[in-house]
């Protein structure tokens, strides 16, 4: 058999065998002529059993070539889509460092069969005085650098090839007061942010950033331009490979993040939606409804589900969170799980981190 016939035969097996409700093209080749056309060829179009019976027809060589080319492109595109979907279902992310309780990366159990992101909490554009004030995009570190330092980052990433480490920006508070997004102007904030964050990210060998501002003195459009251009610049400069946002269901918060999503959503890889900000006692069905609503708000985004380690609000692991995850997984909607936070999970031996990763690791 010639090289051309072998290629066509492989296409036949790739396309005829997967179970699918789509139509299937079955190609049979006769008398191949070196690498070009075939003397005789039949094309069978088979429909699902509950739709149409199969028909067979002889096709001129030019039409056959067009159909085979289309088939190759279709197979390639569906393969890409399938690969993309499968790569988004085993992502586990955990915030770490906000409570400065001596936690280390190595304290957290890591399943080698998931994609694991640590998210350092937080980098804030406030000064480090006893009464911090905004610095217009000049970020400083507000986590425990004694236990979560550059050497620790390198160590955990060298030990686990599936681990990446990101930096979260903003957060709820700084030294007892709210941490506000408070830029002087888009250009000045952006310039300061790019410079200061590039320095931190390179020093710590980080992979991405997470946006977790929860209080605002700038309007939604200013927030969108500052953050959108920050992500765009850091990515184009090769400083980060991914970015996420962490909104929750609050009118002011959503107005800012949805403005960002509208103009720069194509640059945002994950939506760490804080489902734990909903009321304690949230039911499984309510959780699914919330998920569908936010997936619609952040249309086209990879919306991750979430819980609090202490179970103080939202749908907790002990009250049905994993049941909701199983339901979403069965619908191919479970893009990943994130937890707030490793600091709090030390007290329960990271029980739910283990359970989350075990669920995500199942294909």
Active site residues: 214
CA distance 25 to 45: 5
118 contacts 105 by C-beta, under 8 angstroms: yes
Closest Cα partner for 59 from 24, 30, 20? 30
CA distance 8 to 271: 41
If 0-12 CB within 10 Å is exposed, 13-18 middle and 19+ buried, where does residue 10 land?
A: exposed
Q: What is the largest CA-CA distance in the chain?
A: 84
CA distance 277 to 167: 21
Non-local (6+) Cβ contacts of 6 within 8 A are none
CA distance 133 to 155: 34
- Nearest 5°: CA angle at 155, between 149 and 161? 125
């Amino acid at each position: 058999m010639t090289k051309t016939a072998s290629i066509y035969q492989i296409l036949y097996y790739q396309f005829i065998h997967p179970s699918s409700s789509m139509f299937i093209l079955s190609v049979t080749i006769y008398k191949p002529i070196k690498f070009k056309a075939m003397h005789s060829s039949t094309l069978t179009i088979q429909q699902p059993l509950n739709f149409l019976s199969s028909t067979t027809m002889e096709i001129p060589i030019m039409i056959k070539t067009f159909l085979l080319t289309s088939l190759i492109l279709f197979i390639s595109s569906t393969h890409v889509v399938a690969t993309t979907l499968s790569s988004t279902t085993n992502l586990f992310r955990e915030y770490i460092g906000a409570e400065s309780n001596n936690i280390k990366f190595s304290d957290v159990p890591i399943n080698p069969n998931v994609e694991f992101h640590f998210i350092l909490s937080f980098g804030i554009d406030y000064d480090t005085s006893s009464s911090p004030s905004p610095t217009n995009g000049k970020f400083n570190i507000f986590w425990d650098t004694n236990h979560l330092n550059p050497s620790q980052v390198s160590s955990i990433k060298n030990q686990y090839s599936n681990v990446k480490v990101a930096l979260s920006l903003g957060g709820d508070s700084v030294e007892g007061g709210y941490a506000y997004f408070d830029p002087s102007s888009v250009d000045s904030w952006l310039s300061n942010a790019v410079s200061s964050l590039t320095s931190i990210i390179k020093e710590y060998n980080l992979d991405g950033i997470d946006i977790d501002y929860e209080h605002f003195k700038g309007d939604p459009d200013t927030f969108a331009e500052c953050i959108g251009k920050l992500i765009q610049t850091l990515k184009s400069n090769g400083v980060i490979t991914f970015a996420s946002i962490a909104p929750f269901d609050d009118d002011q918060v959503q107005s800012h993040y949805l403005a960002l999503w509208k103009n720069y959503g194509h640059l945002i890889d994950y939506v760490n939606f804080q489902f734990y900000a909903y009321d304690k006692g949230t039911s499984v069905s309510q959780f699914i409804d919330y998920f569908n609503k936010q997936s619609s708000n952040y249309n086209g985004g990879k919306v991750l589900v979430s819980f609090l380690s202490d179970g103080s609000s939202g749908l907790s692991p002990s009250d049905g969170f994993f049941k909701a995850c199983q339901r979403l997984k069965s619908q191919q909607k479970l893009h990943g799980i994130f937890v707030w936070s490793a600091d709090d999970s030390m007290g329960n031996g990271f029980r739910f981190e283990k359970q989350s990763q075990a669920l995500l690791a199942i294909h």
